[in-house]
Structure 1
Amino acid sequence: MTPSQRSAHMAKIRSVDTKPELVVRRTLHAAGYRYRLHDPRLPGRPDLVFPARRKVIFVHGCFWHGHDCPVGARTPKTNAQFWNEKRLRNRVRDSAQLDLLLAAGWKVLVVWECEVVSRQDLLERLRHFLD
Structure 2
Amino acid sequence: MSRQRSRDTDVEIALRRMLFAAGLRYRVHRRPVKGVRREADVVFGPARVAVFVDGCFWHGCPEHATWPKNNAEFWRAKIEGNQARDRDTDARLAEAGWLAVRVWEHEEAGEAAARIKKMVDERKSAKKSGA
Structure 1-normalised TM-score?
0.83
Question: What's 1:4 paired with?
Answer: none
Structure possessing the higher relative contact order (Cα contacts under 8 Å, 6 or more residues apart): 2
Indicate whether 1:38 and 2:29 are aligned: yes
Root-mean-square deviation (CA, aligned residues, Å) is: 1.4
**Is residue 29 from structure 1 mapped to residue 20 from structure 2 by the alignment?**
yes
Which residue number corresponds to residue 3 of structure 1? none
> How far apart are the structure 2 equivalents of 1:69 and 1:53?
30
SS in 1 for 2:62: coil
Normalised by the length of structure 2, the TM-score is 0.83
Unaligned runs of 5+ in 1: 1-9
For structure 2, which runs of at least 5 residues remain unmatched after alignment? 122-131
Other-structure match for 1:122: 112
CA contact (8 A) 2:50 2:98 kept: yes
Task: Kindly report structure 1 stretches of 4+ aligned residues shifted beyond 4 Å.
Answer: none
The alpha-carbon deviation at position 108 of structure 1 amounts to: 1.4
- Distance across 2 between alignment mates of 1:41 and 1:35: 12
Distance 1:58 1:120 in 2: 16
- Residue 116 of structure 2: SS of its match in structure 1? helix
**2:58 — aligned with what?**
64
More helix by share: 1
